[in-house]
């Protein structure tokens, strides 16, 4: 076991959350592709947000893997990007009329996953 992990957050759990977030991001774009014929359900904002979330989910997963291998810069990046994406999800949910309901629900689920990541990577270790 990497000696740096003894002081690190529970990165196995964070990795599972990151995989879930990444999978949900992929499924969101699949859903958008399947629903693309309905402009009320799939707007340009859905595609832009979906691609942005997928890119960030991939980065969160990458930073999680690197942090688990003892990289302090990766852990710092993970802390920052997960908090920023959580805040963005809250804004998406709160903005009236900008996104369809199905995407707001998806962002709420993403927000729950990200909130858990934020808590886990920012907890004090005794």
Per residue in 70-81, pLDDT (tens digit) is 999 999 999 999
Query: pTM for this one?
Result: 0.88
Domain-embedded: residue 16: no
Domain that holds residue 62: 24-122
Which residue do the tokens 């003894």 mark? Answer: 6
Domain-embedded: residue 4: no
For the chain, what is the domain count? 1
Question: What are 16's two structure tokens?
Answer: 């599972």
pLDDT one-digit tens code per residue, 15-37: 999 999 999 999 999 999 999 99
Mean pLDDT of the chain: 91
Domain-embedded: residue 3: no
Domain-embedded: residue 52: yes
Domain-embedded: residue 28: yes
Lowest-confidence region among 6-10, 44-48, 81-85, 89-93: 6-10
Domain-embedded: residue 33: yes
118 vs 108: CA distance, rounded Å = 15
Domain-embedded: residue 102: yes
Residue 6 has pLDDT above 80, yes or no: no
Domain-embedded: residue 84: yes
The mean per-residue pLDDT over the stretch 75-97 comes to 94
């Amino acid at each position: 076991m990497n000696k740096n992990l003894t002081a690190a957050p529970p990165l196995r759990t964070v990795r599972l959350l990151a995989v879930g977030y990444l999978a949900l991001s992929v499924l969101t774009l699949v859903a958008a592709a399947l629903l693309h014929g309905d402009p009320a359900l799939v707007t340009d904002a859905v595609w832009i947000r979906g691609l942005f979330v997928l890119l960030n989910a991939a980065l969160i997963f990458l930073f999680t893997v690197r942090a688990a291998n003892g990289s302090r810069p990766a852990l710092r990046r993970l802390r920052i990007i997960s908090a920023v994406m959580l805040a963005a999800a809250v804004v998406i949910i709160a903005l009236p009329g900008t996104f369809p309901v199905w995407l707001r629900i998806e962002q709420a689920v993403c927000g729950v996953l990200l909130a858990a990541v934020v808590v886990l990577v920012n907890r004090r270790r005794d």
